[in-house]
Structure formats: C-alpha cells, structure tokens
C-alpha cells in the first residue's frame, strides 16, 4: 500500500542517508517529502501535522546530546497527538536499536542499515536480507570449464608426455601407496583387533619417528596430544561460535573470485579459531598447511596432536576436527603437492570430505624437496584418489619462487593437469601472482606489478579452457611487514585477479612478511577487509594492463611449447625433471632427495 | 596475567609513533613500552624511522600455537 513518508534530518548538516532512502521509497512507489537539515523538533512536528504523513524517518548523525534531543522529539509528537497515528523511525551513526526502543521510537537503524531495511519498515513488513548479501553455497571453481585446448600443438605434446608418465608408473609402487591402502582399511574396519594388526603393518612402512609412535606411543619433539578437556572445550567453542555467525560477503560483483586463506599455525585448535574468524570476515575457503618435516617423514601419526612450529600435523582426527568446525559454505583444501605421504593425504582428505586438494609433481620435486621419481609414482596414485572422491586439485607453480621462469613452471603445471584429466580428475591451474626472482632479474615489474601477472592469465587462457586459481598467496614478495602496505598489496592483486576473470585467489595475512612469530587472527582480518574494500572499489571496472602483457603472454606460450617439445623428445618425464628441463639448477631448482631410491618395482 | 588478556585470541599489537632519533632507539623504546605494559613475549613486527620519529607495530603474544587457550574454555561461562 502506498505510503506518505516524511524524511527529516534532526541534524545540522547530514542527510545523505535519508536521500538514499528517499530514492528507494520512490522506486517502491511511495510519496516522500524530504526536509532540509537544521530544522528544529517543533518545525518537524509541524510538517508532520501539515502534510498528514503515514511514516516519519528521522536521522541523527551527531552523537552529542542525542538521547535528550530525541527524547524531546517523542514528547513533542505525543503532545501534538500524532504519536499513535504516525509510525516514527530513527536512524544514523549515533543510533542503536536499543536506544531507539528506550526513547519510544517504533524502530532504530544503526550504522550499516540498508535502504531495503528502511523500505521494509515503512511498508510494515519483516526485513529479509537480499540473497546476494548472504553466503549460501560453496562455489564450484571448475564449473563451466570443458578443458578444451585452444593450442592443439601443446595438447598433442602433453598427450605424448602423459603417455610416458603412465607407462613409467604402471609397474611401480611405493611405501606411501601401500600406507594409503592400509589407512583405508584401518578407517573402513570396525574391528579394533583388526585395526591394531593393520596399524602394525602400517608402521612397518614408516620412518623410525612414526614407527616409535605406533610401537611405543612416543611423540615427536615439539608435539603433544591435545587433552580430552581441550577436545571437549573445542566442541563447545565451535558450537557457540557457529550460533552467532553472520558472515560478511567479500564479493561485490559476481565476477569477484572466491577468496581462500591459508592456515597452519601448528595447532589444529588455533587453526579452527582462526578459520572461524576468517569465515566471519568473509573467507570463502581455507587451505591446510602441514609442517615441512611432515613432507620428509614416511607415515602419519594418529590422534589430536598439536605442534609448536608452523604447519599443522595431518592426522585423521586433526583433519576431522577441522572439517567438523567448518561452515557448510566454506571450501576446504588439503595440500598434497609435495612430500612422502601424498596418496594418503588425498585419501584422508577425500574420506573426511575435503572439497579440494593440491598436487604438482614438478613443483614438489624441484622446489618441494621430494625425489622426482618417487613423487611421480605417488602423484599418479594421489590423482586417482582425487578423482575417486571428486576433489578438484590445483596445480601450484611455486617453483617460480625458487627462480624457475614462469614458462617452465607452466609447462610442468600443464603436464600434471593433462595427467589429471587423463586419470579422471579436475585440475585447476594455479599461476603465481608474485614478484618472482625471474622478474626481479629481468625487470618485467620495474614499472608495475600488473603486466606480467596479466600475461600469465592471457597465456593460460590462450592454451586451455580451464579454471584458474591465483596463488599462493597473491602478491607474494610484494608485501612488507607494514600491515597497511601488506594489506593494500594483497587487495590490489585481488582486484587484478578479479579484473582478469579468474575463479579463485589465495590471500596472505598482513603478517605475510613477518617471520619472527606466528600469524595472528587480527592480521588475517586485515587482508580480508582490504580485499573486500578493493572489490567494492573496482566493481565491474577493469584494470588495464599495458601492451607488454600481450607480448609477454605470447613469449610465455612460445616458451612453454619449446619446453614441452624438449620433454617429449626426452621420452621420460622423470628424467626431464632430474635433468632440469622443467627448472634447472641454474634457475634455482634442485631435484628433491626425500624418498630417493624408494620406488618399488611391482614385478 | 589479567583476565582480560585471556580473551585475546593470540596476541596484542600496539601501534604508535615514537619520537626518537633513529631506528635503533625506536627498537629499544618499543621493547621498553611493551615491557612497561606488562607483555613478556614481545616481537617487533614493523618499524620504520623517518625524520622526527618511528612508526612502530609491536606485538605481545598472549598465546602461541600449542598453548592452552583460556578462551577455549570460557565460552559457556
């Protein structure tokens, strides 16, 4: 029903909010009358009477004397006999709903009130927030991509290389693959004595530090089991926090990518506390970081275990407690891109219900410390698990941070992606948005941080129709220890990624460049806030790279093709890794040694 | 430790601008400031001296990963 609404700023100057509401009311078919600022209470009451309005909306921005002024306004309304006939709402920076109710207003609207809320009040209906402002569903990063190759020459080379990888791994296995199979049996068994036997067998394939855990209950140094009281308290904490969750949405437009944060404080409970804080401040997804020593250790521990150093220990129980703490709309990734436990990591992630994992043989073996042959064999098994559990995986290219040029890192990424497709998986390309050694040396970022990053996206889009998730984290090596500069660098890279139409980004905290202590929850919120502000700032507007971006993209594509030709010609992907075709010692990449000579021949 | 600090999830950052002659002095003053405020596990996160003084961000850790966090047990009180 059409209403006649008087809008009056009970304030010397401020009436912007009322102007916005006036527009909203008129768009909804109501008649409005906006009074200028700086009118007295008496003058406003007179205008209400003279114009015979149905609803009055008063605004008050200044906090000084607010209760007295508004109390007097209500008294005057009652004295004029309009209080029962006219609905009166009050809003503005100085207003809180409790104060409005106490003073006798029909409604109070504090900072952050939307025009829709005010319109609902005028129309006498309950305010239902628009769906665009509410998190509801998990984003499927791979949706809409068919993985068709635009560069057919590259596709053909990749197929040749993938044939070689599958042939190489067909008669090989490893202790990691055997452990993953045993872990599956342990998880599936309901018979405790059978589980014990399986654990004993599992321990046979582990390093001594893990073996001593299963055989003698010993914990590695700087780790301890979390107590029953702590586990119980965690459940209460998560329940209470979930009850009061009302998460912010970071995205301002549909083109803004999903935003992931990375956690791995060492303690799964501190991780959960950080995750819940990040969910509240708008993170769409979270990425599990394991300790670096975990990647060099054969076998996983069991139970709720905390750790005093970076990286949170992977156990079934730790991962399960993290999974159970997540909001239903939060994407969860467990990394399996390096190390001696990749198949079991993906198995655990899949069994527990992770949405995503991370696998890259080239990065894991050239900059992640794992032997190329071992990781190739393990990664094929890991990708098969990812496919079985329907978990897309990103193929990270962090070898760039060791000095490997982007075109070589991308060649490795494309090989693993094609391998993933062949095995039924859904790979996600993960180019770095970073200030890499390559550009430091060659000068592509002397002028700006835009062009070379844009070139990477143009190049990949020219090659294949696949999802892109910029990592990890975006802006790496551009951030300093100053939280303002750090947050701003993250936010600008986020908007660049958005402008280039990517599907997801991983962001750092504002502690990214601080290395003397653990990352804090507050520093995580800094960059989420900055990213939200940057998305708001650019909206659908784009960032325009210079001509260099297209030129460098073409050079990159040419470089990738040459690398793939060399790898295909070599005839053996693993040999190509050892010999530096996908990143050489001169570049700064060294084939990993963890797990060397541990591949087992099935024959 | 006062009870209120048990409500801090992990650390307290103090940000300010110290009037001092160089970065070395700023570092010393930053640590002294935090000690005076009663923090024990102190880290200088950011410090930059320019002209009249230094912009600083100093951190006092209340809990580090692996500690027993009081706030974990406080929820239902």
pLDDT digit string (tens) for A554-571? Answer: 999 999 999 999 999 999
Tens-place pLDDT, residues A437-454: 999 999 999 999 999 999
- Round to whole Å and give the CA distance between A595 and A579: 18
A541: Cα separation from own chain's centroid = 22
Residue at token pair 């904490």 = A237
Q: Which residue numbers of A have CB closer than 8 Å to B's CBs?
A: 222, 224, 229-230, 233-234, 236-237, 240-241, 265-267, 269-270, 273-274, 277, 306-308, 480-483, 511, 514, 516-518, 520-522
Name residue, tokens 């001092």.
Answer: B20
Residues of chain A positioned with their CB less than 8 A from the CB of B11: 517-518, 520, 522
Q: What distance in Å separates the CA atoms of residue B34 and residue B12, rounded to the nearest whole number?
A: 10
Distant-in-sequence contacts of A40-45, Cβ < 8 A, 24+ apart: A41/A10, A41/A69, A41/A72, A41/A73, A41/A76, A42/A76, A44/A6, A44/A8, A44/A10, A44/A73, A45/A73, A45/A76, A45/A77, A45/A80, A45/A82
Least Cα separation, residue A326 to chain B (angstroms): 17
Output phi, psi for A541, to 5 deg.
-70, 145
Instruction: Please tell me chain A's helix, strand, coil percentages from 3-state DSSP, rounded to the nearest 5.
Output: 50, 15, 40
Structure confidence at residue B73 as a pLDDT band (50, 70, 90):
confident
A103 versus A206: which is more confidently predicted?
A206
Q: Are A10 and A93 contained in the same domain?
A: yes
* Contact (CB, 8 A) for A426 and A393: yes
H or E element at residue A201? helix A192-204
What per-residue confidence (pLDDT) applies to B77?
A: 47
Is the predicted pLDDT of residue A149 greater than 80, yes or no?
yes
Predicted confidence at residue A464, as pLDDT, reads: 98
Mutate to test the interface with B, among A233, A479, A516 (most CBs of B within 10 A): A233
- What CATH number is given to the structural domain containing A422? 3.20.20.440
Nearest residue on chain B to A517, alpha-carbon basis:
B43
Residues A503, A284: contact at Cβ < 8 Å?
no
Is the same domain home to A120 and A165? Answer: no
Looking at the structure, tell me whether residues A48 and A164 fall in a common domain: no
Q: Is residue A425 part of a domain?
A: yes
Residue A396 in domain: yes
Average pLDDT, chain A: 93
Which residues of chain B lie closer than 8 angstroms to A269, CB-CB?
69, 72
The stretch A253-268 carries a mean pLDDT of: 93
- Which residues of chain B have a Cβ shorter than 8 Å from any chain A Cβ? 9-11, 13, 43-46, 48, 55, 57, 59, 61, 63-69, 71-73, 75-76
Q: Which residues pair with A416 in a beta bridge?
A: none
Contact A277, A248 (CB under 8 A): no
Six token digits for residue A429: 């390309």
Host domain of residue A43:
4-131
H/E run at residue B18: strand B11-19
High-pLDDT (> 90) share of chain A, %: 75
Q: Which residues contact A178 (CB under 8 A, 6 or more apart)?
A: A205
**Statement to judge: residues A166 and A51 lie in one domain:** no
CA B74 to chain A, closest CA, distance in angstroms equals: 8
Domain B3-64 classified CATH 3.30.30.60?
A: yes
Q: Report whether A337 contacts A368 (CB < 8 A).
A: yes
Q: How far is A223 from chain B (nearest CA, A)?
A: 8
Q: pLDDT for B22-71, tens place per residue?
A: 999 999 999 999 999 999 999 999 999 999 999 999 999 999 988 889 99
How is residue A214 written in tokens?
């299963």
SS3 (DSSP) at A591 = coil
Tally of domains within chain A: 2
Is A322 part of a structural domain of the chain? yes
Q: Alpha-carbon distance A206 to A582, whole Å?
A: 31
pLDDT over threshold 90, residue A17? no
- Which residues of chain B have a CB within 8 Å of the CB of A270? 10, 63, 65-66, 69
Q: Are residues A404 and A470 in the same domain?
A: yes
Q: Give me the residue label for tokens 């060099």.
A: A296
Q: Residue A20's CB: how many other CB atoms inside 10 A? A: 13
Give the torsion sign (CA, A50, A54, A60, A65). positive
Of A233, A483, A520, the CB nearest to B72: A233
A273 interaction partners in chain B (CB closer than 8 Å): 9, 69, 71-72
Based on the fold, state whether residues A263 and A378 are members of the same structural domain: yes
Question: Which chain B residues contact residue A274 at CB under 8 A?
Answer: 9
Give the pLDDT band (50/70/90) at residue B20: very high
Task: Say if A294 falls within a structural domain.
Answer: yes
What is the distance in angstroms between the Cα of B54 and the nearest Cα belonging to chain A? 12
Could you tell me the pLDDT band of residue A112, with boundaries at 50, 70 and 90? confident
Quote the CA–CA distance of A61 and A449 in Å, as a whole number: 41
Q: What does the pLDDT average to over A142-171?
A: 97
Residue whose structure tokens are 């009358």: A33
CA distance, residue B41 to nearest chain A CA (Å): 10
- The pLDDT value given to residue B75: 59
SS3 A472: strand
Domain assignment of residue A235, yes or no: no
Same domain for A334 and A482, yes or no, is: yes
Residue A297, token pair as written in the block: 């250790």
Q: What is the CATH number for A117?
A: 3.40.50.280
Question: Is residue A583 in a domain?
Answer: no
Least confident of A18-22, A51-55, A194-198, A375-379: A18-22
The residue count of chain A comes to 603
Q: Given the DSSP bridges, would you call strands A469-476 and A432-434 parallel, antiparallel or unpaired?
A: parallel
In a domain, A184, yes or no: no
Residue B68 phi, psi (nearest 5):
-95, 115
Give the pLDDT score at B1: 53
Domain ranges of chain B: 3-64
Is residue A591 within 8 A of residue A370, CB to CB? The reply is no
Produce one character per residue of A483-508: b if its CB has 16 or more CB atoms within 10 Å, e if not.
bebbbbbbbbbbbbbbbbebbbbbbb
Counting one residue from chain A and one from chain B, the pairs whose CB atoms sit within 8 A come to 81
Residues A262-278 as b/e (b if ≥16 CB within 10 A, e otherwise) read bbbbbbbbbbbbbbbbb
Q: Do A97 and A163 sit in the same domain of this protein?
A: no
Of A359, A339, A348, nearest to A320 by C-alpha is A348
pLDDT, residue A294, reads 85
B75 closest CB neighbour out of A224, A240, A267 = A240
Over 90: is that where the pLDDT of A150 sits?
A: yes
CA dihedral A505, A509, A511, A515 (to 10 degrees): -60
Higher pLDDT, A494 or A67: A494
Compute the distance between CA of residue A398 and CA of residue A411 in angstroms, rounded to an integer.
13
Give me the helix-helix angle, A451-463 and A483-499, nearest 10°: 30
Of B45, B66, B75, the CB nearest to A267: B66
- Same domain, yes or no: A161 and A64: no
Band the pLDDT of A133: cuts 50, 70, 90: low
A116 and A64, same structural domain? Answer: yes
- Section A388-415 average pLDDT: 96
Question: What residue in A sits closest to B68 (Cα-Cα)?
Answer: A230
B29-55 core/surface letters (b: 16 or more CB in 10 A; e: else): bbeebbeeeebeebbbbbbebeeebbb
């Amino acid at each position: 029903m059409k209403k006649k609404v008087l809008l009056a700023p009970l304030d010397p100057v401020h009436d912007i909010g009322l102007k916005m509401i006036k527009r909203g009311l008129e768009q909804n078919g109501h008649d409005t009358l906006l009074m200028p600022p700086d009118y007295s209470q008496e003058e406003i009451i007179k205008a209400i009477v003279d114009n015979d309005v149905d609803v009055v909306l008063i605004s008050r921005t200044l906090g000084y004397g607010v209760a007295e002024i508004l109390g007097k306004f209500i008294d005057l309304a009652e004295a004029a006999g309009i209080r029962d006939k006219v609905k009166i709402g009050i809003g503005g920076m100085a207003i809180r709903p409790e104060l409005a109710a106490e003073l006798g207003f029909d409604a109070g609207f504090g900072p952050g009130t939307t025009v829709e809320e005010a319109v609902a009040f005028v129309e006498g209906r309950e305010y239902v927030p628009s769906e665009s402002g509410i998190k509801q569903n998990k984003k499927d990063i791979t949706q809409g991509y068919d993985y068709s190759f635009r560069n057919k020459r590259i596709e053909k080379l990749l197929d040749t290389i993938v044939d070689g990888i599958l042939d190489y791994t067909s008669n090989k296995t490893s202790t990691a693959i055997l452990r993953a199979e045993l872990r599956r049996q342990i998880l599936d068994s309901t018979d405790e004595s059978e589980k014990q036997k399986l654990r004993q067998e599992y321990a046979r394939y582990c390093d001594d530090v893990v073996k001593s855990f299963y055989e003698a209950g010993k914990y590695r140094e700087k780790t301890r089991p979390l107590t029953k009281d702590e586990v119980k308290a965690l459940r209460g904490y998560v329940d209470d926090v979930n009850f009061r969750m009302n998460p912010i949405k970071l995205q301002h437009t549909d083109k803004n990518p999903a935003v992931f944060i990375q956690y791995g404080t060492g303690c799964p409970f501190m991780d959960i506390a950080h995750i819940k804080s990040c969910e509240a401040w708008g993170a769409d997804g979270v990425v599990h970081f394991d300790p670096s020593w975990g990647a060099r250790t054969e076998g996983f521990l069991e139970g709720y275990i905390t750790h005093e150093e970076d990286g949170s220990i992977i156990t079934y129980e730790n991962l399960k407690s993290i999974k159970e703490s997540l909001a239903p709309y939060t994407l969860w990734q467990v990394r399996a891109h390096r190390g001696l436990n990749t198949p079991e990591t993906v198995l655990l992630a899949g069994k527990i219900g992770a949405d995503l994992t991370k696998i890259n043989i080239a990065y894991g073996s050239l900059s992640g410390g794992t032997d190329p042959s071992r990781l190739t064999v393990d990664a094929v098994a890991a990708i098969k698990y990812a496919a079985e559990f329907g978990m897309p995986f990103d193929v990270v290219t962090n070898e760039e941070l060791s000095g490997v040029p982007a075109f070589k890192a991308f060649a490795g990424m494309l090989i693993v992606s094609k391998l993933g497709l062949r095995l039924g998986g859904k790979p996600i390309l993960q180019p770095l948005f970073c200030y890499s050694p390559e550009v430091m040396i060659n000068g592509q970022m002397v002028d700006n941080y835009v062009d070379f990053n844009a070139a990477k996206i143009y190049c990949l889009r020219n090659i294949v129709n696949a999802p892109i998730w910029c990592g990890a984290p975006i802006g790496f090596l551009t951030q300093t220890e100053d939280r303002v500069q750090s947050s701003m660098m993250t936010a600008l890279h986020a908007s660049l990624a958005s402008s280039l139409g990517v599907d997801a980004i991983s962001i750092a905290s504002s502690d990214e460049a601080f290395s003397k202590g653990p990352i804090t929850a507050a520093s995580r919120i800094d960059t989420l806030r900055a990213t939200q502000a940057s998305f708001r700032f650019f909206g659908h507007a784009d960032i325009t790279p210079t001509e260099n971006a297209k030129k460098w993209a073409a050079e990159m594509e040419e470089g990738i093709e040459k690398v793939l030709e060399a790898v295909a010609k070599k005839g053996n992907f693993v040999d190509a890794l050892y010999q530096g075709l996908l990143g050489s010692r001169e570049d700064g990449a060294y084939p990993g040694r963890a797990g060397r000579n541990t591949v087992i021949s099935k024959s | 430790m006062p009870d209120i600090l048990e409500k801090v999830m992990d650390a307290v950052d103090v940000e300010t601008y110290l009037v001092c002659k160089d970065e070395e002095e700023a570092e010393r003053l930053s640590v002294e400031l935090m000690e005076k405020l009663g923090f024990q596990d102190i880290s200088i996160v950011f410090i930059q001296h320019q002209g009249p003084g230094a912009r600083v961000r100093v951190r006092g850790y209340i809990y580090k990963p692996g500690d027993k966090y009081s706030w974990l047990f406080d929820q239902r009180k």
